[in-house]
Amino acid sequence: MSSPAKPPRRPLDDPLHGHTAIIIEDQKLFADFLAGCFTEWGVEVLANTASGVEGLGLVNRLSPDLLMLDFSLPDIDGLEIARQVLADRSKSKIKVVGISSHCDPWTMLQVQKLGLHGFVDKMNQSADTLRAALTTVLGGNVFYTSAVTESSARLRQDPRAFNRVLSDYEMKILAMIGHAMSDEEIATALGISPATMQSRRRDIMKKLDIHTTPKLIHYAIVNGLTRPTRM
């Protein structure tokens, strides 16, 4: 019985050849898929971990060319990892590419606000798209799949989009409302009085033109402000 055929060797002038990467992804099957693709494309995988905390430590220690980062991790929000890496001038050479099945408006907005170099939608993209993303990003450009650009266009066209009418503080409150927290619970968490919190809730509902708490909770969930890792 003959041995399995090896993946074709990539030429040394391949734009991906010789680069290094760290993968932070908690779904093992997908993490192994990414690592296999990277290896075939000539990218050295320095580490592949499901832990965001461990991954951030590895990034600090190994300083890869590329960080491939899932947003939904068991111990820390992947967007927080991206924020820390991108804000650190000593890591300016590291290209950060996000991968996620969560393509809600809030997440896509953060991709652009934080300045990620790339984003690939897990659910609707192929390995060819992933390779194109890596080639583009490591070549010094930005690569976003359509989930980002289409979401951005919808937010621009909506005069009552949350990012246009709410402050960052109000969005934080809305995320808590989305978890069905009471005014008293939110007030305690934020260190404000229940009366102030009630006033804040009324302001948010007025700005969004939403007039019941169930609809406000639904809005927070649909737009991605409320997810367990966001609290």
Count how many Cα atoms sit within 13 Å of the Cα of residue 27 in the half-sphere of its side chain: 12
Rounded Cα distance, 191 and 211, in Å: 25
Please give the order of strands across the beta sheet that includes 143-144: 44-49, 20-24, 66-70, 95-100, 118-121, 143-144
Q: For 38-83, what is the HEC assignment?
A: HHHCCCEEEEEECCHHHHHHHHHHHCCCEEEEECCCCCCCHHHHHH
Domains of the chain are 20-154 (3.40.50.2300), 162-230 (1.10.10.10)
Lowest mean pLDDT among 75-89, 120-134, 154-168, 216-230: 216-230
For residue 15, what pLDDT band results from cuts at 50, 70 and 90?
Answer: confident
Percentage of the chain beyond pLDDT 90 is: 86
C-alpha Rg value of the chain to the nearest Å? 20
pLDDT tens track for 46-73: 999 999 999 999 999 999 999 999 999 9
- pTM greater than 0.75 (yes/no): yes
